[in-house]
Amino acid sequence: MTKVTLTVNGRAMSGECEDRTLLVHFIREKLGLTGTHVGCDTTQCGACVVHMDGHSVKSCSILAVQASGSTITTIEGLAGQGELHPVQAAFKEHHGLQCGFCTPGMVMTAVDLINREGGTLTEETVRAGLEGNICRCTGYHNIVKAILAADAEMATGRQAAE
Amino acid sequence: MGVEGIGARVTRKEDKRFLTGKGRYTDDMTVPGMKYAYFVRSPYGHAKIRNIDATAAKAMPGVIDVLDGKQLQADGIGNLICGWMIHSKDGTPMKMGAWHPLAVDTVRYVGDAIAIVVADSSGEARDAAEAVVIDYEQLPTVVEAVAALAPGAPQIHPEAPGNLIFDWQIGESDAVDKAIAAAAHVTEIEILNNRLSPNPMEPRATLGIYDTAEDHYTCYTTSQNPHVARLVMSAFYNVAPENKLRVIAPDVGGGFGSKIYIYPEEIICLWASKKTGVPVKWTSDRTEAFLTDAHGRDHVSKVKMAFDANNRITALKVDTIANLGAYMSLFSSAVPTYLYATLLSGQYAIPAIHANVRTVYTNTVPVDAYRGAGRPEATYLLERTMETAARELGVSPAELRRTNFIRTFPYQTPVIMNYDAGDYEASLNAAMQAADWNGFAARRTQSEAKGKKRGIGMSCYIEACGIAPSAAVGSLGAGVGLWESAEVRVNAVGTIEVLTGSHSHGQGHETTFAQLVAGRLGVPIESINIVHGDTDKVQMGMGTYGSRSGAVGMSAVVKALDKVEAKAKKIAAHLMEASEEDIVIENGELKVAGTDKSVPWFQVALASYTAHNLPSGMEPGLKETAFYDPSNFTFPAGCYIAEVEIDPDTGETDIVQFVAADDFGNIINPMIVEGQVHGGIAQGVGQALLENVQYDANGQLLTASYMDYAMPRADDLPSFTLSHQNTPCPSNPLGIKGCGEAGAIGSPPALINAITDAIGHNKLTMPATPMKVWQALQTAH
Amino acid sequence: MYATSYHRASSVEDAVRLKSANEEGKYLSGGMTLISTMKQRLAAPSDLIDLRHIPTLRGISIDGRKVTIGAATPHADVAASRELAAICPAICKLAGHIGDPHVRHMGTIGGSIANNDPAADYPAGLLGLGATIVTDRRSLSADDFFTGLFETALEEGEMVTSVTFEAPEKAGYAKFNNPASRFAMTGVFAAKTAGGIRVAVTGAGASGVFRHPGFEQALASNWSADALSNVAVDASNLMADMHANAEYRANLVKVMAKRAVASAG
């Protein structure tokens, strides 16, 4: 067993695990943050996406020991208690989720996409940016709408702040 | 239309928990002492089990026990069954082979469960599973239905000689043959409906908990119908009596049919919990899901459609072979029969129809209902045939359809169904207008200038939803009734709980069911909670599939609400010394019509519970239960148009527009209905362009992960253009028809009609992959 | 995943020492292929030596037209490098279409080429550029480095530390994705380099990435997509699977080659 230390959603957390433990299982089972999901075994569906040191990663394809020392944001830590991040709010407003299983990964992906390409997103670039996330319920139509709306909303917010 | 009532675009009450990671799915559940299961599964498509040696596995670190099928059988756990009896045309009952939850002497598909390992961690369970030594005698395999019927094919079950499960028919064979002989034109076509894996994003999971002190079982499971699961596990599998078995389906991450069935793992984890004395959790990985979740479709059909000199259809003859896999899953027999052949009239007045259906065992995972279940197969067959006929007859596809539309209702088809309402031309016109059908020629010219091939195709679908009148389905062989139950529980402060036997796994019932109540009573939607998915909370229910939650589940809520309102009116009339008939319920108040007298809703609720001043003889409380049994199916219908642009160099298809015009009857929440259509179309696009389950000749699944099974992704799809035409359903109180499956039903033929139009070559099977389209283009010239 | 032991290397020397102490171990870079393979129990290294935290292995440096990319540089960094895009946009485009955004944040150029998946993009890029692969002990030309399906010239314990190449006069990359995995079903990198015309094909060859002499000759006399129209692609050495038979792949090789040249300008 190896000790893994992470800063998760702003809090220092640590736990013991086998070296073969995946980051997603460490987050779900050791830290009790079950919002991050596992939907495939081949690094494709994106239900497990979290942010590691500020970038979106697939937590099902990283060992917890590999991540030790890093800063992790999961869906639970995206907004303050009881609040919604603008991307979460846009998913609700535009019905960008149905069963909710892919949703945490989709939202974390959308936030990363807006962080990288915010203000320049188009339907085409949003669809390309969702290449690593599979949703079986929505046909992506409303997810794309929600991300474009959140991008516009956040761009307005950035302008107002300047 | 109120802001929160029926017809309002209300955002979903359930969203916040899903958006903040607070959803609670089965794999999120942990209980003290819980251990992990891993299943030993057959690596062969067909083999005898000579011996199972778990000695080494049991000695591995962390292992609690390894249990096999003989132990399960010795404990009296029963075989899995198919719950819908079909008789062959010679009168003999379907030939159901034994399906042991854990194989005892024979395995019949790759993935067939053989033993369960329970260990401290899932990794240790899997390590030990690899150490279970099984001595197999391999047997010959057959994976395709047509091949399984051929003389000399490997025999899969002793109960079903020649692998034939049943040979069933519907309609008038003689009349059809006569019409074909007399026809001015006969269109003949062979139709393949490709095999699909449902792939809800949440893999199946189950947590079995046995309580020694109470001799009681709790089963958390990924189910679309927890009550049916309890009923079947209790009545047929002898897991436990119903009062000793609680089934909870918490948040469920999509189903699409695949989570209707009671699978071996649920039964085995409950049994293993008792055997080992620890709670046992199993979570499928995606490869296990591909190997063991029931697949969908997989039909091969020969079709003849006869026309008179005026292009009117005079007869339809269909001969279908359906692959049911290695065992008969719970509703497998109903899918290629009563959910398929009864829809072969489509939107058309066809005087004579005959369908013959043979179902077949193969060494593949069981096949059962997947989104649409039988109706996509019927629609694809009919709409590909209509398109082909239009091309052969030299008329436009729209004209051929208009010529043959049913225009008066009710309409009795020759294949059981009685259509109650519809306006097919309205949807056709709306779709053609939205797609700018008339401007297509100009767009094609533009595409040609870029070196691209452009095509347009339509599909006019009908389906039967609101499943289903219990007596009718009982007479057709169903083992259960298909009503729904509801309970409306008004609390003393006026807030409301609605308990429903429907189950939401993405459909948004917590919002739409609340909208119904909010609209009826004029109370805020926040004051209404929807309770579902737990057999200890909800009295009984038949679950969610077949687009039935609105038409059947909500109708039960309406009936319970009727009773609640009637009692509330009596109380209000008593409190205001008015006549019961004069009381109206509006904006959260009970008013005396035509006066300014009123009492607020909460006060009536409170009065019912204080019981200080109730009408003489009235029981306290305000809580009512109702069962609703539909009197007919509902018949959503519509027209879909796909327009594609094909790159002739690579064969790649780009969907440049997709238009859906649907008649779902009345709509509770347009936002949610649109979402259902989007998702359905995406699955239909998946079937038409991307998805295909493939086994090799030895029964090895070649498409066992997302590396090889092509799921639709965001950049495979366009945004969709939707519209609704509304002819209310006359058979249920809300006029709802259902919207869950339409998208998956209507879209595949529209796409294949468009692609074949673009490439000028009609022989193309689904999925129309770039390679297949490119190959078709090479032979088209 | 089978049990394994994790080690985090602090330097190249440390990594090589750890590897030699654990013969059944493997170097772990971004892990985007290795961890997946281990999850499916298709690989079972006793030890993993993590290279991601060795500072000298990460980064892109440009000296005139000479480019050096550290082995542990993630695809996302290559895709987003403006300095690199100014002299060799084709390699940025290639990196920007590997896997998906999340994979590009973790996966590295060294990991990709050391694995040499027959459907990976970088092998085509580096072979097409005529790059040099630098290891802890020597330098190898791309022509010598890629030796077959999942096979390279790397010796036991040898690790890639960087790749270097001269920015080409022109280069383009075009790929056609496998509809399921999104790996290259065929990807072609075409470059006009100081050392001549080079065309490398990934995703299609039965023995992994390969150069296409027919295309190279045709382009040497006429750098244009049209020059490739009459060049034959031999299907006999191409992969065939359920997604694409060899004949279709042969077609894709030519179509993608033309598009690569067209995109190079």
**Confidence at residue B2, expressed as pLDDT on a 0 to 100 scale:** 58
> Which residue from A minimizes the CA distance to C102?
A57
Q: Both A71 and A6 in a single domain?
A: yes
Beta strands in A59-133 (DSSP E): 71-73
Confidence of residue B487 (pLDDT cuts 50, 70, 90): very high
Contact B16 A84 (CB under 8 A): yes
CA distance B242 to B670: 39
C170-264 carries CATH number 3.30.200.20:
no
Best residue in B10, B13, B15, B26 for a mutation probing chain A (most A CBs within 10 Å)? B15
- Using one digit for the tens of pLDDT, what is the confidence trace for C134-166? 999 999 999 999 999 999 999 999 999 999 999
**Which of B12, B16, B18 should be substituted to probe chain A, the one whose Cβ sees the most A Cβ atoms within 10 Å?**
B18
Residue A141 lies in a domain: yes
Same domain membership, residue A56 and residue A112:
no
Neighbours of chain A (3+ CB pairs under 8 A): B, C
- Report if residue A162 sits inside a domain: no
Q: Which residues of A touch B705 (CB under 8 A)?
A: 40-42, 44
| A43 interfacial to chain C (CB closer than 8 Å) | yes
Q: How far is A101 from chain B (nearest CA, A)?
A: 5
Backbone φ and ψ for B504, nearest 5 degrees, come out as -95, 125
| Chains touching B, CB cut-off 8 Å, 3+ pairs | A, C
Given A77, A101, A129, the domain boundary residue is A77
Q: What is the pLDDT of residues B622-645, one digit of tens each?
A: 999 999 999 999 999 999 999 999
State the pLDDT confidence band at C250, using cuts at 50, 70 and 90.
Answer: very high
At A162 the pLDDT is 72
What's residue A160's pLDDT?
A: 80
Q: Report the distance separating Cα A100 and Cα B505, nearest Å.
A: 9
Write out the H or E segment, with its range, that includes residue B628: strand B623-628
Same domain, A58 and A113: no
Question: Average pLDDT of C88-102?
Answer: 98
Show which of A16, A50, A77 is a domain's final residue.
A77
Residue type, B544: T
User: Which residues of B are less than 8 Å from A104 in CB distance?
Assistant: 21
For residue A59, give the CATH number of its domain: 3.10.20.30
Say how far apart CA B41 and CA A134 lie, in whole Å. 27
Q: What average pLDDT does range B154-177 have in this prediction?
A: 98
Q: What are phi and psi of A123, to 5 degrees?
A: -55, -45
Query: Do C243 and B708 count as a contact with CB atoms less than 8 A apart?
Result: yes
Partners of A57 on chain C (C-beta within 8 Å) are 102, 105-106
Quick check: is A53 in a domain?
yes
Of the candidate CATH numbers 3.40.50.2300, 2.40.30.260, 3.30.365.10, 3.20.20.140, the domain formed by B483-628 belongs to 3.30.365.10
Interchain proximity B708–C255, CB inside 8 Å:
no
**Residue A105: CATH number of its domain:** 1.10.150.120
Residue B597: its pLDDT value, please?
A: 97
Q: How far apart are CA B207 and CA B279, in angstroms?
A: 7
Tell if the CB–CB gap between A20 and C3 is shorter than 8 Å. Answer: yes
User: What mean pLDDT is predicted for residues C41-49?
Assistant: 96
Tell me which chain C residue has its CA closest to the CA of residue A55.
C105
- A91 and A55: one domain? no
Domain B296-467+632-780 adopts which CATH fold? Aldehyde Oxidoreductase; domain 4 (3.30.365)
Q: Are residues A73 and A99 in the same domain?
A: no
- CB contact (8 A) between residue A130 and residue B675: no
Range(s) for CATH 3.30.43.10 in chain C?
1-52
**Structure confidence by residue, pLDDT tens digits, B577-602:** 999 999 999 999 999 999 999 999 99
**CATH code that applies to domain B31-139+201-254+259-292:** 3.90.1170.50
Last residue of a domain, one of A77, A109, A128: A77
Rounded distance, CA B680 to CA A137, Å? 8
Is the pTM for the entire model greater than 0.90? yes
> What is the domain extent for residue A73?
2-77
pLDDT for B781 equals 57
Give the separation between CA B400 and CA B405, rounded to whole angstroms: 9
CATH class label, C1-52: alpha beta
Which residues on chain C are in Cβ contact (under 8 Å) with B690?
179-180
On chain C, the residues whose CB falls within 8 A of the CB of B709 are: 180
Q: Residues A47, A102: one domain?
A: no
**Count of domains in chain A?**
2
Who has greater pLDDT, B64 or A155?
B64
Two domains, one topology: B296-467+632-780 and B483-628: yes
A108 shares a domain with A53: no
Contact C6 A66 (CB under 8 A): yes
Which of A 71-100 lie inside 8 A of C, CB atoms?
none
Distance from CA of A98 to the nearest CA of C (A): 23
Going from N- to C-terminal start, the domains of chain B cover 31-139+201-254+259-292, 296-467+632-780, 483-628
Nearest Cα of chain A lies from the Cα of B30 at a distance, in angstroms, of 9
Instruction: Say if B508 is an interface residue toward chain A (CB within 8 Å).
Output: yes
What is the pLDDT at residue A159? 81
Residue B114 has pLDDT above 70, yes or no: yes
Q: Does residue A11 fall inside a structural domain?
A: yes
Whole-complex ipTM = 0.98
